[in-house]
Structure 1
């Protein structure tokens, strides 16, 4: 069975107060991958590319997951949560009915490298209370295999359970870190949405060579053999689609245009985080 359905590369973008990043999902060549709404990679050792950060801004109707490979980013929000995510750590924020937060670098030099993933919420959960959780690197399980380490950010692998468990939308997120020439196999998965992104080096997927910066859509029923000739890194994502209409306006993701207009109105009137 053909494993790779389509291949894509991200495009340069800016967000926040001018942070330079690569938009991988939710760009012209790759729109929503239900329930994954957006995937951004930020990677630079030039402070001018990230120092302005992401000042306070609103969200409603979805979940954000920030996963860091290098650097330090501070989170503060309107619910009173605060925390710093560092190399190897993750932060999960369920915006739901509304939250206003800021993500600002806690460094003035050095490499800042990580990802932000947006996941949709089902209509029945979009107006539920906001939540937030911080998971430092030592809370993310690692499975040591021959020549590589598999980090379980979400989902489970060989009895290891990732810390991010979202009842509204179960999903898997693995970080495969090859330290030398090695191979890893994965059978068919039950989830219909299945993605892989190479963030470092090169990875051979079955008979196709994938280079850094490439994302592929995978057939859920396909068996995978991943091989690396040296140091490399890959994210694997899998989830079941929600299958509902998506209406988006910037930081608001709902099901209808009327709900988007309500979100804008609520934000302008200072009622974003309430249900009345």
Structure 2
């Protein structure tokens, strides 16, 4: 069911600090992705560590998938726009993410998982976002949830926006997942041509959008398809105003910075180098995924 809501009104909108093109890389067993939020932006976009965008109808770009690999110290949010991917992990969780579905995994103290395509042709498209955990939660027990498309809350505004609320809350609609310390907001926004969408944002939150269809305008700055726009941190601003130059789709992501040290070695994200050394040793000895 899609709720009808009254559009929020932003009094002082954030502008665009800069546009990011991302880097095309291969990951897993050879999956081609656009790494939009890279290591160099982790401090600027704290608490978010990485954003990968993937999309191809060529099986060679995705068929090898992501065989089993470890994680510690953060959360992964996989959002599938199109396609089917099977998740299995060392905590005994298994699920199939399909069109419009979300997979939220807290690695915590350690989990090994695989993400493998369950299709041999057709389009596979979506995103994976890495969300940091506060120091006090980095060694928490692993957690996992599959959220089918039908269970993701959504609403429409009179201004021509249709919005899925994956995390946080928008226009009075609570999202599928809430997190107290990082307060993530994760929206998938579909806009008709010339439609406007306004979203209130706490001044202290870091925020960005990624346009995956069409082109939008944020504070007179054009943001074309496949570009990420980092929004300015303006203490006087109360939100963002997005206008569609044509039928457009984008994700809007914001969160409360943790302000803690970030120490990363591949799939392990901790606060100190010593903690990284311990994570690697635990993985090599088989203790990383021990109950």
Select 2:84's aligned residue among 54, 68, 72: 72
Rounded Cα–Cα distance in structure 1 between residues aligned with 2:254 and 2:21: 19
How far did residue 187 of structure 1 move?
4.0
How far did residue 169 of structure 1 move?
2.4
Contact 1:191–1:238 under 8 Å retained in 2: no
Rounded Cα–Cα distance in structure 2 between residues aligned with 1:206 and 1:187: 15
How far did residue 218 of structure 1 move?
1.1
Distance 1:139 1:191, change over 3 A: farther
Rounded Cα–Cα distance in structure 2 between residues aligned with 1:246 and 1:261: 14
Partner residue in 1 for 2:109: 97
Over the aligned positions, Cα root-mean-square deviation in angstroms equals 1.6
Q: Which string of whole-angstrom CA distances, capped at 9 and with x for unpartnered residues, describes residues 199-230 of structure 1?
A: 11101112111101111111244343211133
Matched, 1:269 2:285: yes
Distance 1:168 1:130, change over 3 A: farther
Partner residue in 1 for 2:261: 245
How far did residue 273 of structure 1 move?
2.2
Select 1:35's aligned residue among 44, 47, 51: 47
TM-score by length of structure 1 reads 0.94
Secondary structure of the corresponding residue to residue 108 of structure 2: coil
Contact 2:19–2:223 under 8 Å retained in 1: no
How far did residue 241 of structure 1 move?
0.6
Partner residue in 2 for 1:194: 207
Q: Give unpaired runs (5+ residues) of structure 2.
A: 1-11
Secondary structure of the corresponding residue to residue 176 of structure 1: strand
Partner residue in 1 for 2:276: 260
After superposition, where does 1:1-276 map in structure 2 within 5 Å? Answer: 3-27=15-39, 30-32=41-43, 33-145=45-157, 146-221=159-234, 222=237, 223-274=239-290
Rounded Cα–Cα distance in structure 2 between residues aligned with 1:168 and 1:130: 17
Deviation larger for 162-171 or 265-274: 162-171
Rounded Cα–Cα distance in structure 1 between residues aligned with 2:192 and 2:16: 24
Secondary structure of the corresponding residue to residue 34 of structure 1: coil
Contact 1:65–1:116 under 8 Å retained in 2: yes
Distance 1:82 1:13, change over 3 A: same
Distance 1:27 1:62, change over 3 A: closer
How far did residue 85 of structure 1 move?
0.8
Q: Which string of whole-angstrom CA distances, capped at 9 and with x for unpartnered residues, describes residues 52-81 of structure 1?
A: 000000000000000111111110000110
Distance 1:129 1:102, change over 3 A: same
Secondary structure of the corresponding residue to residue 175 of structure 1: strand
Q: Give unpaired runs (5+ residues) of structure 1.
A: none
Instruction: Work out which structure has the larger RCO, using CA pairs closer than 8 Å and 6 or more positions apart in sequence.
Output: 2
